[in-house]
Amino acid sequence: ILLLNRVGMVDSATKSQLAKIPLLSVKAGPRDADTWPARLKEEYQALIQYVKNNKDADNDWFRLESNREGTKWFGRCWVFENNVKYEFEIEFDTPVTYPSTAPEIAIPELDGKTAKMYRGGRICLTDHFKPLWARNVPKFGIAHAMALGLAPWLAVEIPDLISKGIVVAKN
């Protein structure tokens, strides 16, 4: 959290929310057969705590699960705008160089609909999130990527896409 204060890119509410997400300690990726299960356990514990925190704050906004190995993640996220729910499928792979490399979260159905997205619907996190991630290896995990990567991206991009008529409610 101290690094976030120094960077000044996170508001006080986000800092408070982030402080409640457990930091991780095991520096292991999918290739590390001996230590990856321990890292994966930490990931699940942090995600469970983050989801619990969100539900307690009436801010439930995603569901996420992985394959058995913890290398492929998938789920749904949603945003409410003007009392209308907009829901999207999300997916990402755990990079082989994880946790040194942050996951690249994708929303495939929005592929090509905004400049702040790469091929395959991967959201652009390069300028703000990736440097923050790099300074916090191995403490940050998937829960942090959701809180500091996907959540702010959705908060900025989805209302803009709605206002332009690019994203419409599915009824």
- Residues marked active site are found at 124
| Single-letter code of the amino acid located at 57 | A
Cβ neighbour number for residue 112 with a 10 Å cutoff: 9
Helix (H, G, I), strand (E, B) or coil at 68: coil
Helix (H, G, I), strand (E, B) or coil at 148: helix
Q: Which residues pair with 62 in a beta bridge?
A: 77
Helical residues (DSSP H) of the chain, grouped into ranges: 2-7, 12-19, 36-56, 129-135, 142-145, 151-163
| Single-letter code of the amino acid located at 89 | E
| Single-letter code of the amino acid located at 25 | S
Q: Give the side-chain half-sphere CA count within 13 A for 109.
A: 13
